[in-house]
């Protein structure tokens, strides 16, 4: 995929919601989301990153961030369309997130991922060195607490 054909935009609006729902439909933790909930989620998210392939006008990558702007930011729902993987689109997405000026003063950027993605995120300085911290979760979503898959 030609990365010069991709724009990074800061919103998912109008018809693009259907494209985001399509992207979400293919991932285990987002597949059951509804358009209404995703619309509310987009409104409440502090930063949205939508990678649009200009020639097709298609959403090929997405990520969002929740942040207090000072101490903490959490990166969520990092997804590249399956046909666009392996050609640097994920790199574009993470570059956009970690270099975003709105996160420049934030002391800690965090994310949760499956073990196989640790090498991917290490490229941007994310580390498993979290002191004695442990992830704890209070969730009604069994997908997020089952031993087979955790995010």
Ligand X SMILES: CC(C)(COP(=O)(O)OP(=O)(O)OC[C@H]1O[C@@H](n2cnc3c(N)ncnc32)[C@H](O)[C@@H]1OP(=O)(O)O)[C@@H](O)C(=O)NCCC(=O)NCCS
Binding site for ligand X (CB under 6 A): 27, 78-80, 85-91, 113, 116-117, 119-120
Question: Least distance to ligand X from the beta carbon of 74, Å?
Answer: 11
Q: Which candidate, 81, 25, 91, 22, places its Cα nearest to that of 53?
A: 81
Pairing of strands 72-80, 108-110: parallel
What 3-state DSSP class applies to 24? helix
C-beta closer to ligand X: residue 76 or 106: 76
Q: Which residue is nearest to ligand X (CB)?
A: 90
C-beta closer to ligand X: residue 26 or 70: 26
CB 38 within 8 A of CB 17: yes
Question: Least distance to ligand X from the beta carbon of 21, Å?
Answer: 15
Question: Least distance to ligand X from the beta carbon of 25, Å?
Answer: 12
DSSP state letter for 118: H
């Amino acid at each position: 995929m030609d990365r010069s054909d991709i724009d990074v935009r800061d919103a998912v609006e109008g018809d693009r919601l259907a494209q985001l729902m399509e992207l979400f439909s293919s991932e285990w933790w987002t597949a059951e989301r509804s358009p209404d909930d995703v619309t509310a989620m987009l409104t409440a998210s502090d930063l949205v990153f939508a990678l649009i392939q200009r020639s097709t006008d298609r959403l090929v990558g997405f990520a969002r961030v929740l942040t207090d702007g000072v101490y903490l930011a959490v990166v969520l729902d990092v997804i590249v369309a399956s046909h666009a993987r392996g050609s640097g689109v994920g790199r574009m997405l993470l570059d956009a997130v970690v270099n975003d000026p709105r996160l420049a003063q934030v002391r800690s950027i965090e994310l949760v991922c499956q073990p196989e993605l640790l090498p991917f995120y290490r490229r941007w300085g994310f580390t498993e060195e979290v002191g004695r911290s442990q992830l704890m979760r209070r969730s009604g979503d069994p997908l997020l607490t089952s031993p087979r898959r955790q995010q």
